[in-house]
Amino acid sequence: MDFLLEILDPIVFDYGYAYFFPQQSSSSSSPASSGYSSNTTSFTDSSSKTAYDDAFSLNYGSSLARDNIYRQCASILLIAGFGASIIYVISAALSYYFIFDRRLEYHPRFLKNQIRQEIQSSFFAIPIIDLLTLPFFLGEVRGKSLLYTRIDEYGWWWLGVSTLLYMVFNDLGIYWIHRLEHHPSIYKYVHKPHHKWIIPTPWAAIAFHPVDGYLQSLPYQ
């Protein structure tokens, strides 16, 4: 996520935050109206303007600096939400039109208006899952993650071993979470919507209860 922020901040977000949360003008704090002598005022005005220009440059014209936690939260939610939506639409559409056997839509257990329901369910789940996963992305952006970008930090051997361990951990994690969700005390509240689609289409890829989607995403975090 921090990689995406590094790309999108100068291209999009700096302009957006400067527009919606502009940095206040230094004129409001100028000592010119404080009754100081002209020499003192001139010197102070110059120092104040220099400090303001430096701050303006560092914050890219916005009152919210790039490392402001509220700005980071908003940016992460936008990136994750729009990113998930775009990936969902593109991948589901390609799978539906080029891979999915559309004759299955005539199956007696294919629901009326099912594709519309799958899409609605998916777009209902995305922003909630986005919000629930925010702490993980925020922790990464603020340096609380064990992710690394230089292979020489741990070597190629650890890259291979950790990749295999990651895959095994994900499979085991999702398996046991899925089994837990089939427990009678949980199933009808969280996991049952996932089984609504007896004949699912690619549009049902994330058409489930938001908590279900969040829980099954935990091993990836």
- pLDDT at residue 13 above 90? yes
Res 84: pLDDT: 94
CA distances from 86 to 80, 90, 93, 126, 190 (A): 10, 6, 11, 11, 25
- pLDDT at residue 76 above 50? yes
Query: How many other β-carbons are positioned within 10 Å of the β-carbon of residue 179?
Result: 9
- pLDDT at residue 62 above 60? yes
**In this predicted model, what pLDDT tens digit does every residue of 111-125 receive, in sequence order?**
999 999 999 999 999
Res 57: pLDDT: 53
Single-letter amino acid, residue 33:
S
Res 37: pLDDT: 42
Any bridge partners for residue 62, and if so which? 22
- The full set of domain ranges for the chain reads 69-220
Token pair in block for residue 162: 């950790």
At CA 55, angle to CA 50 and CA 56, rounded to 5?
Answer: 95
- Phi/psi at 103 (5° precision): -65, -20
Give the model's confidence band at 182: pLDDT under 50 very low, under 70 low, under 90 confident, else very high: very high
Res 31: pLDDT: 41
Angle of helix 69-98 relative to helix 134-141, nearest 10 degrees, comes to: 120
Q: Which residues contact 135 (CB under 8 A, 6 or more apart)?
A: none
Cβ atoms of 206 and 120 within 8 Å: the answer is: no
* Mean pLDDT computed over 21-26: 78
* Mean pLDDT computed over 127-131: 95
Res 61: pLDDT: 85
